[in-house]
Chain A
């Protein structure tokens, strides 16, 4: 009797709550956390985002004495844009070592903050290589971007900024981009014998070099 009444007592309040809570809350409450119910979530929240998009900023052409100068010199190989107050140059791959060296020597971009890449597998030239530069005298930042195809190489800038050494090794490690003239281009964060380049979009988040794991760690899987 007691055992029976115990399970009976909880269900009744729950049963009371469920219809009360579920019916009004089901649609909006589960939609706002957006965890399991994906289809209802985007329409509910995309509505405020959708009108914001047209008013959102777009990259604008950017002109400055620096840009004028190099455009005169190199013609259409340079596209200067500004987005959210940040200036960047889209530069043709063929201009790459020259323009970076000129930026340091003539325009005082003496500090190479970072070198990185972005993978766009659907594009013909799959990789964006990005140099983030800073000038101490001018207190100014500039990004230089170029596009290269998968398997193509790009000149190393270690002779321009020594800091590029490890940064280029990391780009090579993560994307498999070759840097010509790098003094010691090898993996830096992943083990030497690892296969694959994890930051490529075709490399899954759970993917790993199973063979390496089995041989070197003596376990079936690293997962």
Chain B
């Protein structure tokens, strides 16, 4: 008993003001249970050690690393171009975003810019990917809480986005859609028509999801006031993305420090008030609609011109270092790249949003029930491929 207590006594305590007194032993009604890493509701290989008082969560500790592939080490042993497809394997449900961040970071290091046409194509695909990521989140999150129907709806509609990806670059998930300096592929004949068809097709589908959930009594009971986190705590813990915005902080890198062509488009940043699971749900639902707005403006304005900037065949950035980050569907995805002037990066550091956001799990579930842990893991929208890298 002592051993298991030791395991939990420090790791889970997140140094915010918490009211949990540290005791050297467990009470008769306290217990420590293990959730994962093969638990269906942990969205992959996440292991959470829970300290419980009956059904009430007293503390948690996350054990991660089961999917660690050493992406950063691989980067040091590949050329800049060769490493590009690897980034798709981190957040594999938003591969396009990962690629955008990496390509833009290397472009910054090379001091080149992708031509406008490539930037517009990038925005269209990245925003489609954001919708696909949010759809996958919604389906699995709702399934975790007990609503089975949304999963089938969201996967059915996500298929339309994956079809566009497949026609564009041949892959559905790990797309490797962009290259350093621009795009490899010109848009296929009918690309704009496909995207516009999707723009017409999807809004009624969001209404359909919302009809199932937004005022569903069970959904409200399971999400309102569950996993509350304040904006202040979010900032202290480095939490970004929809979780931060649902806590009332209006911050989105697409607006704060625009990259690609985002400064040219008109869109809103949705914010929540309570920072609970329901607000995070609403923020992501509105984000999907806002993404449609961006896609509509981008696809109607794709300029003519080249899709590849003036990038040498062998990428050899000058000695230096750069940090570049983008607003991925999960939050701030950053790349810190150090170049020693050779064809291989000296160091690539990935700042993964899921990894940092997962740290907030502990303070979000303290005092809640075990069933809420499942809801909170879902609402954090983590992808273990990105947490572990």
Contacts and interface: CB of A to CB of B under 8 A. Distances in A.
Say whether A associates with B.
yes
Given A163-B237, A199-B72, A118 B314 contact: no
Nearest to B360: A163
Contacts of B338: 118
B33 interface: no
Interface stretch (A7-15, A63-71, A136-144, A213-221): A136-144
Interface centre among B325, B346, B347, by most chain A C-beta atoms within 10 angstroms, is B347
A166 interface: yes
B359 A53 contact: no
A96 interface: no
B76 to A, nearest CB: 8
Interface string B232-274: 0001111100000000010100001100000000000000000
A113 B359 contact: no
Contact of B111 (A48, A57, A119, A191): A57
Contacts of A45: 312-314
A93 B243 CA distance: 35
Contacts of B332: 113
Contacts of B237: 162-163
Interface in A105-149: 110-114, 116, 118-119, 130, 132, 136, 139, 141, 143
Nearest to A112: B238
A56 B313 contact: no
28 contacts: A34-B314, A45-B314, A56-B111, A56-B318, A83-B321, A84-B108, A84-B109, A84-B322, A86-B323, A113-B238, A113-B325, A113-B334, A114-B334, A118-B346, A130-B336, A132-B323, A141-B323, A162-B237, A163-B238, A174-B72, A183-B10, A187-B65, A189-B65, A189-B388, A198-B70, A199-B73, A205-B74, A205-B77
Given A34-B313, A45-B314, A162-B237, 5 more contacts: A57-B111, A59-B320, A111-B235, A166-B356, A205-B76
Interface of A: 32, 34, 41-42, 45-46, 48-49, 52-53, 56-57, 59, 83-84, 86, 110-114, 116, 118-119, 130, 132, 136, 139, 141, 143, 158-159, 161-163, 165-167, 174, 183-184, 186-191, 198-199, 203, 205
